[in-house]
Amino acid sequence: MKRLSGLLVFCALAAAWEGLSRWGVVSRLYFPPVSTIAATFWDLTVSGLLPGQALSTVSRAVAGLLLALAVMAPLGLAMGVSRRLSALLTPTVELLRPVPPPAIIPAAMLLFGIGTGMKLVVIVFACSFPILVGAVDGARSIDPGFRLTAAAYGLSRRDLLFGVILPAAGPSVAAGFRTAVPMALIVAVLSEMIGASSGIGHYILRMQRTFAIPEMYAGVAMLGLWGLALNAGTQQVLARLLRWHAGWKGGI
């Protein structure tokens, strides 16, 4: 019922747009009727143009995310466990972290051109910090009781790492990863708008410049849907991996 009323609000807003556009209250060129956009969206989707453009964007975002996870999660855990490593790297991290990722796009273009490499570098840069910080926090905040138990039962360092530190830090790493997902998409699209010959960011900008306004909106809608799917997919996978955590926190 609540879901339904939420959907009704969305439909009402879409209908208002449609009406305002058709009655000429707003510029029909800049705000084409929703039905026109929907029809364009449908045509471009069936022809495979939009999904193709979106796929190249989303696959870059996902690749960047996974790359950042593969590098930063282990590094963050190591920093959380080792005081020395943390002291060594924390100043660098704290200096680089506040840099808004789009700010490095020009430099990345200079170094890597406008190909996939440049975009991956920027996406990895953007996703690295939330994941790194999550991993550091996770490894640092492990209940000392768990470590003591592992020590009392003579477990090896390897067992401590994979059986205690990794699962205990999991929820925190996951929180960082969840933050990184929308950032990956944002930076992927932005890097395509600045320097690219493909991808949905490039497409949206090109359509705007050629006054193909319904196409532009269709591109935005396609991105929105992908964002939704990406978030939902992440949520599903993490909920499965961390089922114990939801139960633990909910159970006490």
Partner 1 sequence: MLTIEGLTKSYSQNGSPATCALGGVSFSVPKGAFVSLVGPSGCGKSTLLQCVCGLMRPTAGRVTLAGREISAPPPEMALIFQNAAASLFPWFTILGNIRFVLRRAPGSKAQKLETARSALAAVGLADFAEHYPWQLSGGMQQRAALARGLAYGAEILLLDEPFASVDAQTREDLEDLLAGVARQQGKTVLFVTHDIDEAVYLADTVVALTPPPAKVAAILPIDLPHPRDQIASREDRRFLDARKAIHALLRRV
Residues that bind partner 1 (CB under 8 A): 143, 145-146, 148-149, 151-156, 159, 163-164, 167-168, 170, 244-245, 247-248, 251-252
In whole angstroms, the minimum distance from the beta carbon of 164 to partner 1 comes to 7
Nearer to partner 1 by C-beta: 17 or 146? 146
Q: Which is nearer to partner 1, 97 or 243 (CB)?
A: 243
Query: Shortest gap between Cβ of 170 and partner 1 (angstroms)?
Result: 8
Q: How far is the CB of 41 from partner 1 (least distance, A)?
A: 44
Q: Give the nearest distance from C-beta 142 to partner 1 in angstroms.
A: 11
Query: With helix as H, strand as E and coil as C, how does the chain read?
Result: CHHHHHHHHHHHHHHHHHHHHHCCCCCCCCCCCHHHHHHHHHHHHHCCHHHHHHHHHHHHHHHHHHHHHHHHHHHHHHHHHCHHHHHHHHHHHHHHCCCCHHHHHHHHHHHHCCCHHHHHHHHHHHHHHHHHHHHHHHHHCCCHHHHHHHHHCCCCHHHHHHHHHHHHHHHHHHHHHHHHHHHHHHHHHHHHHHCCCCCHHHHHHHHHHCCCHHHHHHHHHHHHHHHHHHHHHHHHHHHHHCHHHHHHHHHC
Least Å from the CB of residue 147 to partner 1: 10
Taking the least distance from each CB to partner 1, the nearer of 97 and 249 is 249
As a whole number of Å, the end-to-end CA separation of the chain is 30
Q: Which lies closer to partner 1 via its Cβ, residue 106 or residue 247?
A: 247
Angle between helices 166-194 and 105-112 (to 10 degrees): 80
Our CB check for partner 1 shows the closer of 169 and 207 to be: 169
CB nearer to partner 1: give 33 or 167: 167
Q: Which is nearer to partner 1, 10 or 153 (CB)?
A: 153
Residue located via tokens 């930063």:
72
Around Cβ 82, how many Cβ atoms within 10 Å? Answer: 13
Least separation, in Å, of the C-beta of 231 and partner 1? Answer: 24
Which residue reads 């029809």 in tokens? 39
Minimum distance of partner 1 from residue 149's CB (angstroms): 5
